[in-house]
A and B are shown apart, each in its own frame.
Chain A
């Protein structure tokens, strides 16, 4: 949270620091909109600070100061970030931006006159992957795994923890540490700042930050010889093709996808064909309320001939 406080203007920081410590530790989002009260969200409640009777109103000059603090007084360095609409700050936290969009040649060039900030606090949860690991490996090899869950069910958190465990190696299961490649299109898994991951991943992790998934998968295979590839939120046709390609290249895939359950994602042609062709050996279904998951073994016999298994 320290990093988050550093980008908040002093007035707001003071107000938020006055909240009980337990609440501070549970903060998931801080929303700041010009001429509107500041809103804080934990995963159980949303409230206005300091209280709803006399809320603190975030004004234009606060917004300018906030942008200054976010960019170290150097908005000129945020070209890419303003195009994507969010800034990743150290600690892996993300600040979403909205305001007046500037276009150039029919493309979004950036956001000017920023009117809304949404600070999303990133929290690492160590050990969420522990209970799954036994079922995700087979005789010392990791299985191709698909993580299925609706938004906010903890897919990315789980994926991050799995990546960490793989790169460290799991002694109790006699699985060696493997080289892990992460294709982090939306800078969510690793929360990289200038290419350097802000989350702890052990030693053997390489990250392609804000790289399109399909290209990233191929780039990684060509350049970094990974043993395991981790990719978030697959869905487009190119992603599917790239995953097939990667599996053929002998790389283990860990991917996540939006959806309620296995049946649900089978309605999507790309994912369905990947599952039908037997590219995935395990699926984890995550439940949004309990944040617990069920591991399903996908039928290996369905694998089409011609797919080389090692």
Chain B
């Protein structure tokens, strides 16, 4: 009996450790997708001159979840609701951020970008997109570093933590 219990404890803590580790990896991946999304947005807005609701829709179609959901939502609301793009972007962001592994710094960049969305002329709009992309670049680097640093640590910590608890309880 004791053995089964001990195994269960170790298993649980190991799973926790793994979860934390993959969360790091997912964050890096999502930041990378954000960059791709903004590059696509730039193409649509600056070169394609596509109206914002349709630009967001196209970007959403190129991406996978959870990013696609955000752009879908923004596009849908832009078409249906009579509010400024800034309002819609920030509201949607507020709800959506819980479903991602992104951290406050990335959400802040997105929020900042939303403040002027669709309200500036071509050149300034382009600058805003470029600025956001360069911020994401930095975030991606940091995310990769912390992934390297902590990924294996979380994994072994999970397992070893379980062992520790078992030893104490024995």
Contact = CB atoms under 8 A, between A and B. Distances in A.
B122 interface: yes
Nearest to A111: B121
Contacts of B121: 75-76, 78-79, 82, 109-110, 112
Please report whether the interface of chain A is mostly helix, strand, loop or mixed according to DSSP. helix
B85 A77 contact: no
A287 interface: no
Contacts of B52: 72-74
A65 B119 contact: no
A5 to B, nearest CB: 11
Contacts, number: 58
Contacts of B85: 68, 73
Contacts of A65: 82-84
A10 B51 contact: no
Interface in A44-102: 61, 64-65, 67-69, 71-79, 82
Contacts of B53: 72-73
A259 interface: no
Contacts of B51: 71-74, 77
A67 B119 contact: yes
Contacts of A9: 82
Nearest to B118: A73
B46 interface: yes
Contact of A64 (B46, B78, B82, B84): B84
Contacts of B86: 64
B21 interface: no
21 contacts: A9-B82, A10-B82, A64-B84, A65-B82, A68-B84, A68-B85, A72-B52, A73-B51, A73-B52, A73-B118, A74-B50, A74-B55, A75-B119, A75-B120, A76-B46, A76-B49, A76-B118, A76-B122, A77-B51, A78-B121, A82-B121
9 shortest interchain CB distances as A-B pairs:
A73-B118, A73-B52, A73-B85, A72-B51, A76-B125, A76-B122, A74-B51, A74-B52, A68-B84
Given A65-B83, A67-B119, A73-B78, 9 more contacts: A64-B86, A68-B84, A73-B85, A74-B51, A76-B49, A76-B120, A76-B121, A77-B51, A112-B121
Interface of B: 45-46, 49-53, 55, 78, 82-86, 117-122, 125-126
